[in-house]
């Protein structure tokens, strides 16, 4: 009688331990899902902020170009009025201005090219870093799952041995 009660108690205890383990696993899964959802929300917010920043920058650049166009138009009108009186002087000034503008344009293009290369390099490094972090995180999760599965397998084997020993006794 006592052995039957003890076996029943051990079975209940094993069922309780297994139930607690399942509850812990479910809690871990829920936590992982929450973490993934939060990360997705952060990525979406970051992407939206980046899109807004680019759109704002584009608008600013467009306004600057419009202002530059207007300024150049006004300069051209002024130059046309003075051209009849100071043709020779104006031609020399015009050549000098065009050369300076060309140098400035070339310098600006070179700066823009270098900045674009630097941005591309930084973005590539950031992507590589994020991919490495993601791989490391996934590997850690896989290891944790395997360790948990191995631990649970050992617990089941230990319980089975104890039950066999108890049954044999």
Local confidence pLDDT in tens for the 169 residues of the chain = 788 888 888 888 888 999 899 999 999 999 999 999 999 999 999 999 999 999 999 999 999 999 999 999 999 988 877 777 788 777 778 899 999 999 999 999 999 999 999 999 999 999 999 999 999 999 999 999 999 999 999 999 999 999 888 888 7
Range of the domain at 162: 2-168
pTM over 0.85: no
Q: CA angle at residue 42 from 46 to 58, to 5 degrees? A: 10
**Total structural domains in the chain?**
1
Spatial distance between the Cα atoms of 125 and 147, rounded to a whole number of angstroms = 33
């Amino acid at each position: 009688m006592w052995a039957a009660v003890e076996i029943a108690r051990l079975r209940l205890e094993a069922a309780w331990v297994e139930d607690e383990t399942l509850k812990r696993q479910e809690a871990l899964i829920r936590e992982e899902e929450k973490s993934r959802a939060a990360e997705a929300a952060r990525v979406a917010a970051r992407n939206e902020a980046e899109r807004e920043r680019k759109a704002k920058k584009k608008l600013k650049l467009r306004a600057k170009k419009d202002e530059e166009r207007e300024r150049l138009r006004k300069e051209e009108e002024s130059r046309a009025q003075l051209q009849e009186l100071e043709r020779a002087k104006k031609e020399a000034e015009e050549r000098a201005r065009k050369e300076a503008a060309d140098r400035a344009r070339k310098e600006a293009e070179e700066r823009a090219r270098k900045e674009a290369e630097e941005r591309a390099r930084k973005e590539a490094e950031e992507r590589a870093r994020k991919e490495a972090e993601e791989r490391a995180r996934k590997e850690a999760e896989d290891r944790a799952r395997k360790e948990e599965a191995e631990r649970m397998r050992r617990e089941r084997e230990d319980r089975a041995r104890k039950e066999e020993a108890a049954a044999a006794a």
